[in-house]
Amino acid sequence: MIARFAWHADSYDRRLASIRYRLLAPLDALRRQGVAIEQYQAGRDYAAIIFSKSHSPAAVAAARRARAGGHEVIFDLCDNLFAAQRAGHASGARVARLREMLGLATHLTFSTATLAEQIAEEVPGLRAPTSVIPDVLDIDPPAALPLSLRDQVALASLRRFHARHAGALHCVWFGKSLGQASGYAHVGAAARELGRFAHPTTLTIVSNDWLGYRGARRRWPVPVTYVPWTLASAPIALARHRVAVIPLEQNDYTAGKTINRPATALLAGLGVVADALPSYEELRPFIALDDWQGGLERYRQWSDETAAALAAGRAHLAAAYGADAVAARWRAILEAL
C-alpha cells in the first residue's frame, strides 16, 4: 500500500510516553483500519503530513516543502511551550519555530480544549481549522518487559521500604519535574497532606530526576523512597501502591494538560487523589479531586463502593481513549481532506 499520509516526529522513541500515546498508538490503529499512513520518510510525496511533537528545523523545512507543493500540514500540539518558555524550559528559537509551524498548518489539533484556547490567546489570528483529539491510553496492561539489574535492585529496595512500613497507606507520585511549573515543586503539598493524615502513610517517587528528588525530599514530612522510571519497572512499581497522588498548581503550563496521569493510575488499579485540572473533571465521579483527606480515607477503607467507582472509571477510559476510538477521530480529519 502506497502511503497517502505520514506522521512526523522529531523522535520516534517508544520510551517517551507522549510519542507512544500521541503518535505510535494511533498510527498503528489507523493502519489496522486500512488507512494508508506511515512514519514520515523524507523525499516521499504525501497528501498530508501530521507533525506531532515536531518543531525542529528539519520539521519546519518539511512543512514548508509540503505547503509549497500544495499539500496539507496538520500540526498537533500537546504542551504549552509558550508557558514552558516563561518558566525557562524552552528556548526562544524553539518557540519561534513553533510559531512558524502554527502559521504553516492547514489544520491544528490539540490534546485538550484548554490547550487549544491557550494557544489561540498566545497567537491571535490563527485561521486553520482546529480539532481536539485526546491521547491514546494503554487500556490493557502493558506487556511485561525484561527487567535490567538496575530495575531489579530498585524494586527490591521498594519491597524492603514497604516492609519497614507495614500497615501504612502506600502512595505513589510519578512523572517528570519542570522547575516551579510542575512536578517536585508541587509534591511537597501532597507530602504535607500525607503527613496530616490520621493513618501512617508512605510516598514513593517514580521519576527520572534523582538529583531533583534528593534536593526536595528533605522537606517532605513523610517516609519517602525513589524508584527510577523505566518502561519495564514503572508498571510493577505502580501496582505495589494503593493510591496515586497528583498534586498540581493550576498555571499556564499545567492547565492544558491531559488526563493521562490519573488515567494511567486508574488503569493500573490504583485510587487517585488529585488537584483538579480542566481535563480531570470528567473523572470526578470516579476519583477524589480537591479532597485530599477525604480521598485518602476513602482509599484506606477501600469499600465495595470505592472499588465500583474505580471500575466504572476504567470502563469510561476504555470506551473513550482506546486506540480505535482515538484513531477514528484522526481518520475523520484525514478523510475530510
- Residues 10 and 41: their CA atoms lie apart, in Å, by 12
Distances (CA, A) of 292 to 27, 193, 197, 264, 296: 38, 7, 9, 19, 6
Residue 186 is predicted with a pLDDT of: 87
Residue 40 located in a structural domain? yes
- Grid cell locating 57: 528545523
CATH of the domain at 34: 3.40.50.2000
Q: Which residues contact 232 (CB under 8 A, 6 or more apart)?
A: 144, 145, 146, 147, 148, 151
Are 189 and 327 part of one and the same domain? no
Asked if 204 and 158 count as a contact pair (C-beta separation under 8 A), the reply is yes
Residue 141 located in a structural domain? no
pTM, entire model: 0.92
Residue 218 is predicted with a pLDDT of: 87
- Residues 54 and 101: their CA atoms lie apart, in Å, by 9
Residue 142 located in a structural domain? no
CA 271, 273, 242, 239 torsion-angle sign: positive
- Grid cell locating 314: 476504567
**Within 13 Å, how many C-alpha atoms sit on residue 277's CB side?**
25
- Residues 153 and 79: their CA atoms lie apart, in Å, by 34
Are 122 and 157 part of one and the same domain? no
The 3-state secondary structure of 218-281 reads CCCCCCEEEEECCCCCHHHHHHCCCEEEECCCCCCCCCCCCCHHHHHHHHCCCEEEECCCHHHH
- Residues 134 and 285: their CA atoms lie apart, in Å, by 20
Are 48 and 32 part of one and the same domain? yes
User: What residues make up the domain containing 132?
Assistant: 5-136+322-335
Overall number of domains in the chain = 2
Residue 180 is predicted with a pLDDT of: 57
Q: Phi and psi for 218 in degrees, rounded to 5?
A: -65, -20
Are 59 and 153 part of one and the same domain? no
Residue 166 located in a structural domain? yes
Which residues are bridge partners to 77 per DSSP?
110
Residue 2 is predicted with a pLDDT of: 74
Are 84 and 113 part of one and the same domain? yes
Are 176 and 316 part of one and the same domain? yes
Are 43 and 160 part of one and the same domain? no
Are 89 and 73 part of one and the same domain? yes
Q: Which residues contact 58 (CB under 8 A, 6 or more apart)?
A: 10
Residue 176 is predicted with a pLDDT of: 78
Are 330 and 304 part of one and the same domain? no
- Grid cell locating 103: 502559521
Residue 269 located in a structural domain? yes
Residue 144 located in a structural domain? no
Residue 113 located in a structural domain? yes
- Residues 133 and 4: their CA atoms lie apart, in Å, by 21
Q: What is the pLDDT along the chain (337 residues), one digit of tens a residue?
A: 677 999 999 999 988 888 999 999 999 999 999 999 999 999 999 999 999 989 999 999 999 999 999 999 999 999 999 998 998 888 999 999 999 999 999 999 999 999 999 999 999 999 999 999 999 999 988 888 999 999 999 999 999 999 999 999 999 999 876 655 557 878 999 999 999 999 999 999 999 989 889 988 988 999 999 999 999 999 999 999 999 999 998 888 889 999 999 999 999 999 999 999 999 999 999 999 999 999 999 999 999 999 999 999 999 999 999 999 999 999 999 999 8
**Other Cβ atoms within 10 Å of 2 Cβ, number:** 8
Residue 30 located in a structural domain? yes
Residue 143 is predicted with a pLDDT of: 85
Asked if 288 and 244 count as a contact pair (C-beta separation under 8 A), the reply is no
Are 153 and 62 part of one and the same domain? no
Are 330 and 301 part of one and the same domain? no
Are 172 and 212 part of one and the same domain? yes
